[in-house]
């Protein structure tokens, strides 16, 4: 059995189509919320409102302990969200490293480990489209909490590597994939993509395309060149 190198209708060598706005997808797809053009996924953009007290469980204790330990609490905490049994503290971006320090060092909190730093792009639903989430774990009290902060494209955040060394490579990945600048990071360079790569591949407005893949002697075209999309 032979594998065709030139699927019918494919225009090999042609560049991927680039969406001219965030609501229009590749290959002419419109109105679905899916800018890839490969599916029909519609993504709603619900507003995330703050939760009211009592938050339940140990969440109130964490909130109160941080408020007592951190003099700038009122300026730093934008909102508190409890959803699906998880506590998220939304932090003003310029305060994130300060809050992380208190979360780690205060005896009533003791969140000793930052297990994850991840980025999210809320294109077209938030003016501060780039969100960064920090998953904290208290091994002392067996508690978890999420810190979340948001900046516009081209904005920056203080690095938390001085508080949590585990954030080093994770902040580099958020920079590489989303373009988040972490000021004070000891070596903020790309970690997955080549150093000379242009753009940040996990942003929602990043054009999809690909490079030919050689598989068992057959060259498979990039996704945008495999078939004709009407």
| pLDDT exceeds 70 at position 220 | no
Residue 61, in any domain of the structure: yes
- Give, in order, the Cα–Cα distances in Å from 134 to each of 26, 42, 98, 103, 169: 32, 27, 13, 12, 13
| pLDDT exceeds 90 at position 32 | no
Contact indicator for 109, 171 with CB cutoff of 8 Å = no
The fraction of the chain above a pLDDT of 70, given in percent, is 70
pTM (two decimals): 0.75
Residue 125, in any domain of the structure: yes
Note the pLDDT tens digit of each residue in 147-199: 999 999 999 999 999 999 999 999 999 999 999 999 999 999 999 988 888 88
Residue 77, in any domain of the structure: yes
Give the burial class of 167: count Cβ atoms within 10 A of its Cβ; 0-12 exposed, 13-18 middle, 19 or more buried: buried
Residue 20, in any domain of the structure: no
Residue 159, in any domain of the structure: yes
* Domain that residue 101 falls in: 49-207
Query: Into how many domains does the chain fold?
Result: 1
CA 144, 149, 153, 157 torsion-angle sign: negative
Residue 217, in any domain of the structure: no
Task: Tell me: cis bond preceding 54? Omega within 30 of 0 counts.
Answer: yes
Residue 18, in any domain of the structure: no
Residue 222, in any domain of the structure: no
The three-state (H, E, C) secondary structure of the chain, written as one string? CCCCCCCCCCCCCCCCCCCCCCCECHHHCECCCCCCCCCCCCCCCCCCCCCCCCCCCCHHHHHHHHHHHCCCHHHHEEEEEEECCEEEEEECHHHHHHHHHHHHHCCCCCCCEEEEEEEEECCCCCCCCEEEEEEEEECCCCEEEEEEEEECCCCEEECCCCCCCCHHHHHHHHHHHHCCEEECCCCCCCCCCCCCCCCCCCCCCCCCCCCCEEECCEEECCHHHCCCCC
Q: What is the mean pLDDT of residues 87-102?
A: 98
What CATH number does residue 62 fall under?
A: 3.30.460.80
Phi and psi torsions of 157, nearest 5°: -130, 150
């Amino acid at each position: 059995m032979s594998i065709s190198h030139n699927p019918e209708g494919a225009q090999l060598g042609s560049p991927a189509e680039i969406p001219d706005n965030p609501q229009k997808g590749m290959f002419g797809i419109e109105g679905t919320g899916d800018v890839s053009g490969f599916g029909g996924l519609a993504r709603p953009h619900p507003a995330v409102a703050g939760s009211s007290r009592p938050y339940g469980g140990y969440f109130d204790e964490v909130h109160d302990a941080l408020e007592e330990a951190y003099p700038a609490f009122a300026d730093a905490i934008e909102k508190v969200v409890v959803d699906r049994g998880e506590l998220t503290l939304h932090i003003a971006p310029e305060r994130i490293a300060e809050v992380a320090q208190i979360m780690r060092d205060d005896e009533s909190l003791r969140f000793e480990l930052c297990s994850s730093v991840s980025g999210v792009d809320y294109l077209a639903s938030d003016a501060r489209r780039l969100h960064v989430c920090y998953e904290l774990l208290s091994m002392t009290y067996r508690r978890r909490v999420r810190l979340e902060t948001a900046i516009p494209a081209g904005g920056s955040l203080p690095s938390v590597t001085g508080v949590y060394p585990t954030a080093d490579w994770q902040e580099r990945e958020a920079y590489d994939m989303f373009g988040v600048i972490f000021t004070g990071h000891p070596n903020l360079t790309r970690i997955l993509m080549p150093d000379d790569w242009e753009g940040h591949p996990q942003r929602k407005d990043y054009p999809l395309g690909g490079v030919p893949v050689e598989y068992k002697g057959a060259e498979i075209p990039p996704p945008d060149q495999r078939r004709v999309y009407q």
